[in-house]
């Protein structure tokens, strides 16, 4: 199997480059800036998580939706609207996010360079198209992929549509990513296989359970470990 040409479909955020850790740094700074008199960090984070879940539908994934969630959290905790000046302070905390600065996961560039010679590589990422396109351009990785697909959400229908449109052999197509919710489970539901690369900083809303004994799933410790299988 390692010598057969296969289709490798890659997630982007927290698979090719670090993403959520940048958001987590902003959350830490935001909670410190709030300096709430009674609630601790865990309680504030729980409120933010609930607000983010609600806002994903309205604002989608990405920096702007995240900033809106921070402003809404501020408003809820202070029981008043967030002022324009306070919104500016929140945006200042997220300067690196807004600038779309990229930190590649170790070994990604070299690994993709090798895999690109042997397999069909696709990139499937979710979020605001403008945000994701900027990150792809900043990463310098776009030339490795035969196609780049940006979608608002990644569910089984998205994978099914991609496989049908490209005429993929689903048994020889692998979704590679860190998110059980968006990468592993929907790919399996669409009849594909999957490679799970755990990331300690995966966003809490992307957590989900899957059967680690499923022989359609390979779990690896780091991105370069893909070379042991493909």
Does this model's pTM top 0.85? My answer is no
Return the structure tokens found at 123.
């990139």
Return the SS3 of 122.
strand
C-alpha dihedral sign at 70, 72, 74, 76: negative
Q: Are 189 and 156 in contact (CB under 8 A)?
A: yes
Which DSSP state fits 182? I
pLDDT confidence band for 24 (50 / 70 / 90): confident
CB hemisphere CA count around 200 (13 angstroms): 3
User: Rounded mean pLDDT of 199-221?
Assistant: 83
Condensed to tens digits (0 to 9), the pLDDT of residues 88-138 reads 999 999 988 888 788 899 999 999 999 999 999 999 999 889 889 999 999
Continuous H helices in 140-216? 156-166, 185-189
In the chain, the domains with their CATH numbers are: 7-16+105-228 (3.40.50.1000), 20-98 (1.10.150.240)
Return the structure tokens found at 165.
């449109």
Which DSSP state fits 144? G
Beta bridge partners of 10: 123, 176
User: Rounded mean pLDDT of 58-87?
Assistant: 90
**C-alpha distance across the termini of the chain, in Å:** 8
Estimate the crossing angle of helix 84-93 against helix 20-34, to 10 degrees.
140
Measured CA to CA, the distance from residue 16 to residue 67 in angstroms comes to 23
């Amino acid at each position: 199997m390692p010598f057969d040409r296969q289709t490798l479909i890659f997630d982007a955020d927290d698979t090719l480059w670090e993403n959520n850790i940048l958001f987590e740094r902003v959350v830490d700074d935001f909670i410190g800036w709030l300096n709430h008199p009674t609630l601790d960090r865990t309680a504030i984070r729980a409120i933010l998580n609930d607000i983010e879940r609600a806002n994903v539908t309205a604002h989608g994934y990405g920096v702007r939706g995240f900033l809106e969630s921070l402003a809404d959290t501020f408003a809820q905790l202070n029981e008043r609207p967030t002022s324009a000046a306070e919104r500016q302070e929140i945006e200042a905390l997220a300067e690196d996010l807004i600038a779309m600065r990229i930190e590649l996961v170790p070994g990604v560039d070299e690994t993709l360079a090798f895999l690109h010679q042997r397999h069909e590589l696709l990139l499937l990422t979710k979020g605001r198209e403008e945000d994701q396109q900027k990150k792809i351009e900043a990463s310098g990785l776009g030339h490795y992929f035969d196609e780049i697909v940006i979608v608002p959400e990644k569910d089984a229908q998205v994978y099914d549509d991609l496989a049908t449109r490209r005429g993929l052999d689903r048994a020889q197509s692998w979704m590679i990513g860190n998110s059980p919710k968006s990468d592993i489970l929907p790919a399996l539901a669409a009849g594909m296989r999957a490679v799970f690369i755990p990331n300690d900083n995966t966003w809490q809303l992307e957590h989900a359970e899957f059967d680690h004994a499923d022989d359609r799933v390979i779990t690896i410790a780091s991105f370069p470990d893909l070379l042991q299988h493909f």
